[in-house]
Structure 1
Amino acid sequence: MSNDVSFRRASDAVRAVGAGDAGWLDVVHTAREFLGADAATFLCHDKQSRSVRFVEQSGHEARLIEEYAQLYYRYDDSARRFWDAPAGTWYSSSIALKHESQNDRVFWNEFMRPNQLQQLVGVLICNDDDTLTALSIQRTHVVEPTFANTAKIAEYERQLTAAFAARRAAARASLDALSQMLDPTLEGLLIASPDGWVLAYAPGLDVLLGGNDSQLILNQRRLVHRQPEWQNRLTNSLRQVNVSRQPASLVLPDSWGHAYRTTLRPLGSQMNHGLRAAVGVRIERRSIFNVPSETALRQHFSLTQAEARLFHHLVAGLTIGECSEVLGLGTSTLRTQLSAILRKTGCHRQGELLRLATMLAP
C-alpha cells in the first residue's frame, strides 16, 4: 500500500473518532498500516496507581495484552520516561538498545523477547497529572527511522491529540448536561471501564461517595465497594453489561438504613471516549429514613389532610396502633382512612401502598 493511501486512511480514521463516528480501535488498525507495524495499541496509564486503565489493540493475542496489563506494565519504562513530556512527544525503544535499568531488562527479556517483539515506537496523545495516553506500535524487527514522512507524521500527531481532546470534551459536556437534572446529594453519574476505572464523572459524585461511612467509594479513580463480595458483584455486572450490551441494575449495601441503587448501561459515541468498553453508571443513594412529606402524598394522590397524615406515618414505619397513639385517633377511624387511601391509590394491600409511596421519597 502506498504511503499516501495509508496516511489518508489513518487520517480519516482519526478525524472520524474526533467527530464521534468511529472508535479508537479503527485508529489502531490504520496506524499499523501507516506506520509500518506488526501490531499497535492505544493505551492509558494511570500515574497514581501505576496501572493500566484501558487498552485498544490490533495484532496481539489477548493473552499478551492481559499479561501486560496485569504485570509487565510495571516494568515498561519506555513511555514512563516521558511522564512529564507534552502531548505530541514521540518515544522509541528496542531490544538492540543498552538497557541500564532493571525495569528495562525485565520488560525486554521476560516480556518483549519471548513474544518476538523487538521494537516499539509511540506518541503521547494526552499527558496530565492523572494519566498518560499514547498510541504505540510494535514491530518484530528493528526499523531505523527515516525523514521521508516527517510532514505526514507531524500532521497525524496533531490530529491524534485533537481527536482525543474532542472525545473527552464531548463526554464531559454530556455529563455536565445530565448532571443538571440530578440532586448531587442523592445521585450521580460516571463513565467506567469494565474493570471499574472511572474515566469521568459528574460534578458532586466525589461528595456523594465521600462520606467516612460510605461503603461505595472512589479510590484512586476506581469505583470500589469496601466489602469484597459486593465488589466482585459490581465488577461482574460491569463486565456483563460490556459484553451483553444490555442494561442492568444492582443494589449495593451502604451504612445501616442506606443502600446504593446502580443502573449500568452501555454508552454511545457521545460519551464512550471512543472506547468499545465504556459503561455508564447512575448511582442513587436510597435511605429508609427518607419519607415523603404529608403535602407530597396529599397532592399526588388527592388525599385529605387526615389521610395524608396517616399515610405519612405508615410509610415512616408505624403500625395502625402506634398511629392511633401518635395522632390521638381511634383505630377504627384510622382503618376507615386507610381504606380510603387504598381506594384512591388503587392498591389492595398495605404492602403495595408502602412500595408505591417510596416512589415519592427524596
Structure 2
Amino acid sequence: MSDDVSFRRATDAVRAVGAGHADWLDVVHTARDFLGADAATLLCHDKQSRSVRFVEQSGHEARLIEEYAQHFYQYDDATRRFWHASAGTWYDSRVAREHESENDRVFWNEFMRPYQLQQLVGVVICNDDDALTALSIQRMHIVEPSFAHAARIAEYERLLAAAFAARRAAARASLSALSQMLDPAREGFLIASPDGWALEFAPGLDSLLGGHDSQLILKQRRLMHRQPAWQTRLQTALRQAGVDGEPVTLVVPDSWGHAYRLSLRRLSAPMNHGLRAAVGVRIERRSVFNVPGEAALREHFALTPAEARLFHHLVAGLTIGECSEVLNLGTSTLRTQLSAILRKTGCHRQGELLRLAAMLTA
C-alpha cells in the first residue's frame, strides 16, 4: 500500500473515531499499514494497580494478549518509563538494546522472544494521573526511525490525542445527562471494560458502594464483589455483556437485608469511549428494611418463617429468580411458597401482595 493511501486511511479512521462514527479497533487496523508494523495495540495502563484496563489489538493471536494482560504487563518497564510523558511522546524499545532492569529481561526473554517480536514502538495518546493510554506497534524485524514523513507523523499524533479527548468528553457528557435521572442514594451507573475497570462512573457511585460493609465495591476503579463466588459471577456477566453482546441482569447479595441489582448492556457511541466491548452497568441497591418485617408479615397473615422471608424480599422489589439467588433456594420451592402466601393472604396476583404490604407500612 502506498504511503499516501495508508496515511489517508489511518487519519480518516482516527477522525471517524473522534466523531463517534468508528471505534479504536479501526484505528489499530489502519495503524499497522501506516506505521509499517506486524501488529498494533491500543492499551490503557492503570498506574495505581499497574495492570491493564483495556486492550484493542490487530495482528496478534488472542493468547498473546491474554498473557500480556494477565501476567506480563507487570514486567513491561518499557511502557512504565513513559508514565510521566506528555501526549505525542514516542518511545522505541528493541531486543537488541541493553535492558535496564530485571523486569526488562523477563519481559523480552519470556514474552517477546517466544512470539518472535523484536521491536516495540509506541506513542502516548493520553496521560492522566491514574492512567496511560498509548498506541503501540510491534515488529518482528527492527526498523530504523525515518524522518522523511515527520510532518505526517506529527499530524497523526495530534489527531490521536484529539480523537481520544473527543470520545471521552462525549462519554462524560452522556453520563452526566443520565446521572440527572438517578437517585444517588440507591442508584448508580458506570461505563466499564469487560474486566470490570470503571472507565467513567456517575457522581455518587463511590459513596453508594463505599460502605465499610458493602459487598459490591470499587477497588482501585475496578468493580468487584468481596465474595469469590459472586465475583466469578460478576466477571462472567461483564464478559457476556461486553464480549458476547448479551444483555445481562444480575442480583448480588450485599450486607444483611440488602442486595444489588445490576443491569449490564454493551454500549455504543457516544458512551462507549470508542471501545467495542464497553459495558454500561446500572446498579440499584435494594433494601428490605423499608417494608414490613418478616415478623409482622408472619403475624398478620399466619405465614411460616420461610414464607414470611420470601414475602419480605418480594416486597423489597426482587423477582422470584432474584430471590432464588439471594436466598439460595430453587425457584420451584419459592413458587410453592408464593402459592401458599397468595392463599393465606387472599390475593390472586403478586401485584396484589405488594399493594397489601404497602398498606401495612402506610
Cα deviations by residue, 1:267-291 (Å, 9 ceiling, x for unpaired): 0111111111111000000011124
The residue aligned with 1:63 is 63
Tell me, in whole angstroms, the C-alpha distance in 2 between the residues paired with 1:210 and 1:258: 14
Identity %: 73
In 2, the alpha carbon distance for the partners of 1:98 and 1:20 equals 42
Quote how far apart the aligned CAs of 1:222 are: 0.6
**Take 2:114 and 2:261, find their aligned partners in 1: how far apart are those partners?**
46
Structure 2 gaps, min length 5: 303-341
Give SS of 1:317's match.
Answer: helix
What is the rounded CA distance, in whole Å, between the counterparts of 1:173 and 1:30 in structure 2? 28
Q: Does 1:76 align with 2:76?
A: yes
TM-score w.r.t. the length of structure 2 is 0.83
Q: Which moved more, 1:312-321 or 1:90-99?
A: 312-321
1:255 to partner: Cα distance: 0.9
1:118-147 deviations in Å (ceiling 9; x for gaps): 011000001111110000000010110111
- Partner SS for 1:162: helix
The answer (yes or no) to whether the contact 2:268–2:276 under 8 Å persists in 1 is no
Task: Kindly provide the amino acid, as one letter, of the partner of residue 139 in structure 2.
Answer: R
Task: Report what 1:298 is aligned to.
Answer: none
Aligned 1:1-362 pairs, distance under 5 A: 1-291=1-291, 317=297, 319-320=299-300, 348-349=347-348, 351-355=350-354
Q: 1:242 to 1:249 in 2, by over 3 A?
A: same
Note closer, same or farther for the CA distance 1:359–1:227 as it changes in structure 2 (3 Å cut): farther
Task: Determine if contact 2:240/2:247 at 8 Å carries over to the other structure.
Answer: no
Instruction: Flag structure 1 segments of 5+ consecutive residues without an equivalent.
Output: 292-311, 323-341
**Kept after mapping to 2: 8 A contact 1:77/1:103:** yes
**What letter matches 1:170 in structure 2?**
A
Cα deviation digits, residues 27-80 of structure 1 (max 9, x gap): 000000000001000001010011111100011111111111111111111121
- The amino acid that maps onto 2:218 is L
Any conservation in 2 of the 1:51–1:74 contact (CA below 8 Å)?
Answer: yes
Deviation at 1:162, TM superposition (A): 0.6
**TM-aligned CA deviation for residue 185 of structure 1:** 0.6
Q: Compare CA radii of gyration and give the structure with the larger one.
A: 1
Are the structure 2 counterparts of residues 147 and 321 from structure 1 closer, same or farther at C-alpha, using a change threshold of 3 Å? closer
Deviating 4+ runs (over 4 angstroms): 312-316, 356-361
CA contact (8 A) 1:315 1:357 kept: no
Distance 1:354-1:288 versus aligned 2 partners, 3 A rule: farther
Could you give the per-residue CA deviations for residues 62-108 of structure 1, whole angstroms, max 9, x where no partner exists? 11111111111111111210111111111010011111311111111
The residue aligned with 1:294 is none
TM-superposition CA deviations, 1:291-330 (whole Å, max 9, x none) = 4xxxxxxxxxxxxxxxxxxxx89997364379xxxxxxxx
Confirm or deny: 8 A CA contact 2:184 2:204 kept in the other structure.
Answer: yes
Q: Is the 8 A contact 1:250 1:263 kept in 2?
A: yes
| Superposition TM-score, scaled by structure 1 size | 0.83
Task: Give the 3-state SS of the residue equivalent to 2:52 in structure 1.
Answer: strand
Q: Tell me the distance in 2 between the aligned counterparts of 1:351 and 1:202.
A: 33
**RMSD, aligned CA:** 2.3
